[in-house]
Every structure is written in C-alpha cells, then in structure tokens.
Structure 1
Amino acid sequence: MRILIGAVAVMLLAGCSTPSDLLKGEPELVATTKKDPKTYALCVYPHWQDYRSGSVMSETQDGYRLVAGSEMNGQTDDVLDIKRAAAGSSVKLYQRMAWQQVGRSGVKSSFNSCL
C-alpha cells in the first residue's frame, strides 16, 4: 500500500510544470520566419486564445512569449518562445505531454501558417 501511495505522489509531482520547466527541455517545433517577433506573435495569439482562453502573451527582452496552461490544475501545457533573429525571428514551441495532441491542432497549425 505504501508503494502505491508513493508512486501516485511521484506521478503528481512529475506532472507539475511551469513555463521555465518547459523551456529547459527540447522544443517540439523550431522554425525561423522573416516576420519580426511582434508581427508573428500577433498572428499566432488569436489561435492560442481559441485553444485556451486564458492564454497569455507577454513581451520579453528579446521578443515575445505565449503561454497556455490548464486553469484547473495550474500547469503550463504550451510555451511559444519568439526571439529576434538576424533576419526576422526564431520560433520555438515547447509542449508538456507533446504526444497528447487532442485539442491542440490549432496551436501547431498556427505555428506553421503564421511563418
């Protein structure tokens, strides 16, 4: 019984994630675009709001960041990091549970369509 309780506790802790946790891992998608970070962010953001109404777009020191998470458990599910590059922007999509794509099709399609 103690082993079962310990295993459940470990699974719950492993599931927690913040934007900085996701940014430490490998991105799910990487691309470059000739658009500046603000233009790209403004193109993608409406799709993220459709995906999760609580999505947040914020300006960073070198670009923009979009964050979408679950309101119920406070976990970050997706982070889009958009940074200034020599000829436009570099774009990286980080996803918690990247294998689970139910309901996320708009996120990936907007990533590509806005390039």
Structure 2
Amino acid sequence: MRVWRLIAGTLCLAGCASTGDITHNKPTFQASTAKLDSVYAACVHTRWMAISPTARIVETPIALQVVARNATTNIEELLVIHSKAAGADVVLYERMEVLALRAYRDVAKACL
C-alpha cells in the first residue's frame, strides 16, 4: 500500500511542473486584440474545453494564461495573454506544431 501512495504522490508532483519549458519553444501564433484580457481568455477557454476538458485559465502576476494539458507531456498548449491599455497581446506556445493540434491555433485566432 505504501508503494502505491509513493507512486501517486510522485505523479501528483509531476503534474505540477512549470509551464516554463514550453516557452522556450518558438511561439506558433502572436497577435493583439482589442478585447480585455479576461474576455479573450474566457472565449479561448470555453472553446479549448471542447477540445480538451483539462483546459483551464491560470492567473499569474503578469499575465493570464490558458493552458491545455496532456496526460503524457503535461503542458500541450499555452496561451499567454498580456493586458495593455487598449486590449491585450497574445502569444501561443505549443509543445509540437502539428496539423492535428491546429484547432487550438484556430480558436486563438477566432477569439480575437
């Protein structure tokens, strides 16, 4: 029983990994929107939930993030939304830029 608790604890800690490693990738999409950061994030989050039920909004001290997780790679998609005086700047990072994941990019563009 102790072994299973140890394994479960290790998996939980692995799930808390930072999003920092994905931001070392080149952004696959960058844009600006006239929408408030929270309005844009809500639009993207709602639509990403249809693709991945694990999608969530994370508020950091400097930005809003919409994150889609994958069971094997942790962070699959990361959309960083920086508020500015008139709207927001958005940057999308993807673990892998593949055609199958294009739906995330399409949503990020559609919500602008």
* Shorter-chain TM-score range: 0.7 to 0.9
Cα distance between partner residues in 2 of 1:18 and 1:101:
25
Structure 2 segments unaligned to the other structure (5+ residues): 1-16
Name the counterpart of 1:78: 77
Deviations 1:55-81 (A, max 9, x none): 12111223310111212x242111000
Name the counterpart of 1:114: 111
Letter of the structure 2 residue corresponding to residue 78 of structure 1: E
Name the counterpart of 1:101: 99
Structure 1 segments unaligned to the other structure (5+ residues): 1-16
Is residue 68 from structure 1 mapped to residue 65 from structure 2 by the alignment? no
Name the counterpart of 1:90: 89
User: 1:18, CA displacement in angstroms?
Assistant: 4.9
Q: Normalization by structure 1: what TM-score?
A: 0.75
CA contact (8 A) 2:25 2:95 kept: no
CA contact (8 A) 2:29 2:91 kept: yes
Provide the aligned length of Structure 1 versus Structure 2. Answer: 96
Paired residue secondary structure (2:54)? coil
CA contact (8 A) 1:83 1:91 kept: yes
> Which stretch of structure 1 is more off in the superposition, 88-97 or 52-61?
52-61
Q: Normalization by structure 2: what TM-score?
A: 0.76
Q: Which runs of 4+ in 1 moved over 6 A?
A: none
Cα distance between partner residues in 1 of 2:73 and 2:107:
24
CA contact (8 A) 1:38 1:63 kept: no
Pairing 1:1-115 to 2, within 5 Å after superposition: 18-71=18-71, 73-98=72-97, 100-102=98-100, 104-115=101-112
User: 1:86, CA displacement in angstroms?
Assistant: 2.9
Letter of the structure 2 residue corresponding to residue 107 of structure 1: Y
Q: Percent identity?
A: 27
